[in-house]
Amino acid sequence: MIKISNLTMVFKQGGGSDSGITALDRIDLEIPTGQCVAIVGPSGSGKSTLLGLIAGLDQATSGSIIIDDTIITKMNEDDLARFRRDRIGLIFQFFHLLPTLTALENVLVPLELKRERNATETASALLKEVGLLGREDHYPSQLSGGEMQRVAIARAAITRPALLLADEPTGNLDTENGQRIIDLLLGLNRSQKSTLILVTHDLTLASHADRIISLKDGKVVKDEMKL
Ligand X SMILES: Nc1ncnc2c1ncn2[C@@H]1O[C@H](COP(=O)(O)OP(=O)(O)OP(=O)(O)O)[C@@H](O)[C@H]1O
Taking Cα atoms as reference points, which of 154, 147, 141 lies closest to residue 172?
Answer: 147
CB-wise, 17 or 43, nearer to ligand X? 43
Binding residue for ligand X, selected from 17, 19, 43, 76, defined by CB under 6 A: 43
Q: Which span (38-46, 63-71, 156-164, 205-213) binds ligand X, by CB under 6 A?
A: 38-46
Binding residue for ligand X, selected from 4, 36, 48, 209, defined by CB under 6 A: 48
CB-wise, 48 or 194, nearer to Mg ion? 48
Q: Which span (39-47, 96-104, 131-139, 202-210) binds ligand X, by CB under 6 A?
A: 39-47
49 is a site residue for ligand X (CB under 6 A): yes
23 is a site residue for ligand X (CB under 6 A): yes
d(CA 106, CA 139): 9
Q: Are 199 and 51 in contact (CB under 8 A)?
A: yes
What's the alpha-carbon Rg for the chain, to the nearest Å?
18
Q: Are 69 and 185 in contact (CB under 8 A)?
A: no
Site for Mg ion in 128-167 (CB under 5 A): none
Q: Is residue 50 helix, strand or coil? A: helix
Q: Which span (40-48, 61-69, 104-112, 139-147) binds Mg ion, by CB under 5 A?
A: 40-48
Binding residue for Mg ion, selected from 31, 39, 46, 48, defined by CB under 5 A: 48
DSSP for 138-180, written as a single string: --GGGS-HHHHHHHHHHHHHTT--SEEEEESTTTTS-HHHHHH
The strand pairing partners of 224, in sequence order, are 212
Phi, psi of 22 (to 5 degrees): -85, 100
CB-wise, 48 or 200, nearer to Mg ion? 48
Minimum distance between the CB of residue 167 and Mg ion, rounded to whole angstroms? 6
Minimum distance between the CB of residue 34 and ligand X, rounded to whole angstroms? 25
- Number of residues located near ligand X, criterion CB under 6 A: 11
The strand pairing partners of 5, in sequence order, are 64
Sheet with 70-71, edge to edge strand ranges = 21-31, 2-11, 62-67, 70-71
CB-wise, 48 or 214, nearer to Mg ion? 48
Name the binder of 34 from ligand X, Mg ion, none, CB < 5-8 A by kind: none
Minimum distance between the CB of residue 45 and ligand X, rounded to whole angstroms? 4
Rounded to whole angstroms, what are the CA distances from 34 to 85, 195, 223? 19, 4, 17
**Applying CB under 5 A, which residues contact Mg ion?**
48
**Applying CB under 6 A, which residues contact ligand X?**
11, 21, 23, 41, 43-49
